[in-house]
Amino acid sequence: MSRNDTDWFRFELTQTGPIEVNLDHHTRDDFDWALYQETGSALAEGATSNVPETGSYNAQSTGTGWYDLTVNFGEGSNTGGGSGNDDCGYSSRPAKPGSLQAYLQGGSADSCSTLTADQGAVLLMGGGSDVDQAFSNRVANHVGSGADVVVLRTSGTDAYNDYLLNLMNADSVETLIIDTRNKANDDYVDWAIRSAEFVWIAGGDQSDYLNQWQGTKVQTAVQHVFDKGGVVGGTSAGMALMANSVYDPDGVAGAVSDEVVTDFCHETLNFSSRFIDVPVLDNSLTDTHFQERDRMGRAIVSLGHHSNQYFSIAASEATSLFIEASGTGVVDGSNEVYIFKETANTQRVTLQCGSAVNYQNINRVKLLPGDNYNVVSHTHNGMQLDVSINGNNNNFYSPINPY
Q: Give the span between the Cα atoms of 279 and 363, in whole angstroms.
A: 22
pLDDT digits (tens, 9 = 90+) for 270-292: 999 999 999 999 999 999 999 99
Q: Over 70: is that where the pLDDT of 3 sits? A: no
Q: Looking at residues 5-17, what average pLDDT do you find?
A: 83
Q: Give the span between the Cα atoms of 137 and 9, in whole angstroms.
A: 45
3-state DSSP call for residue 166? helix
Q: Over 80: is that where the pLDDT of 83 sits? A: no
CB 259: neighbour CB atoms within 10 A? Answer: 17
Q: Give the span between the Cα atoms of 321 and 104, in whole angstroms.
A: 27
Mean pLDDT (the chain) is 92
pLDDT digits (tens, 9 = 90+) for 233-256: 999 999 999 999 999 999 899 999
pLDDT score recorded for residue 32: 86
3-state DSSP call for residue 322? strand
Q: Looking at residues 192-207, what average pLDDT do you find?
A: 97
Q: Which residues, listed in sequence order, are joined to residue 232 by a DSSP beta bridge?
A: 122, 199
pLDDT digits (tens, 9 = 90+) for 114-157: 999 999 999 999 999 999 999 999 999 999 999 999 999 999 99
**101-398 — its CATH code?**
3.40.50.880
Is the model more confident about 1 or about 323? 323
Q: Give the span between the Cα atoms of 21 and 70, in whole angstroms.
A: 10
Window from 27-41, 75-89, 198-212, 217-231 with minimum mean pLDDT: 75-89
Handedness of CA 234, 239, 243, 247 (dihedral sign): negative
pLDDT confidence band for 66 (50 / 70 / 90): low
Window from 5-19, 42-56, 184-198 with minimum mean pLDDT: 5-19
pLDDT confidence band for 37 (50 / 70 / 90): confident
Q: Give the span between the Cα atoms of 104 and 218, in whole angstroms.
A: 18
E strands of 166-210, at which residues? 172-177, 198-201
This prediction's pTM: 0.79
Domain extent listing, the chain: 17-75, 101-398
pLDDT score recorded for residue 79: 39
Residue 20 has phi, psi (to 5 degrees) of: -100, 130
3-state DSSP call for residue 283? coil
CB proximity list for 273: less than 8 A, separation 6 or greater: 245, 246
Strands 121-125 and 231-235 turn out to be: parallel
Q: Looking at residues 91-101, what average pLDDT do you find?
A: 94
Q: Give the amino acid at 336.
A: E
DSSP type of residue 127: S
DSSP type of residue 339: E
Residue 77 has phi, psi (to 5 degrees) of: -145, 155
